[in-house]
Structure 1
């Protein structure tokens, strides 16, 4: 039973990180759909969020969590670096869609360094769900 050569051992990757084309297709599809839905909702309520302190920042982080968790669920909790890239891109796409719905999201977002930092945290949270 001891040590075996790599040919005899029949080593294979963990099923959690073994990804195929259909997994990537599901991840991209769910990422685009979630980014579209959250982006439209975020754009519609963008300025209403400023009525309560810290709510815009919590919303950005929450959207990152939602996108990351949605992609994770759609690929059956698989993990991998490429899935993290898809989740981060989904968060960026969500902000772009929010900016198209509400032009003020771009104006405010790019002028506030803190808001850009919170967007980065949202991307980190989205990617962290798949890492």
Structure 2
């Protein structure tokens, strides 16, 4: 039998949406190294929570599929609910993979020393660019690069 809607779930989902939008807005500005580390940790934890949410909603679709109807057809409703559950599990798996990548970035970020001066006054280090041999008058200039 279908479970009655829980308004706290919808309220929590909307609160999460608003919080993520605020985080997106706040992260567009400049930040200090410690903030970047904390941000990555929070994003990693949030992704783990999102994975759990998607898996829970997939499970709910599986459990409620026998009661689902699409345009009056219970068979179509069941198929749609089962397909939705599959899509949600697929999305959860991708979020889990992305979370592992964020975790790797977070770990790398944690190994970095960010000594003063800050980014605003420091000269960035650029990787060396490959150079082609210089030719003068059609002859090699004698330098081996």
Q: Would you tell me which structure has more helix in proportion to its own residues?
A: 1
Establish whether TM, by shorter chain, passes 0.5: no
Structure 1 or 2, whichever has the larger Rg, is: 2
TM score, norm. by length of structure 2: 0.28
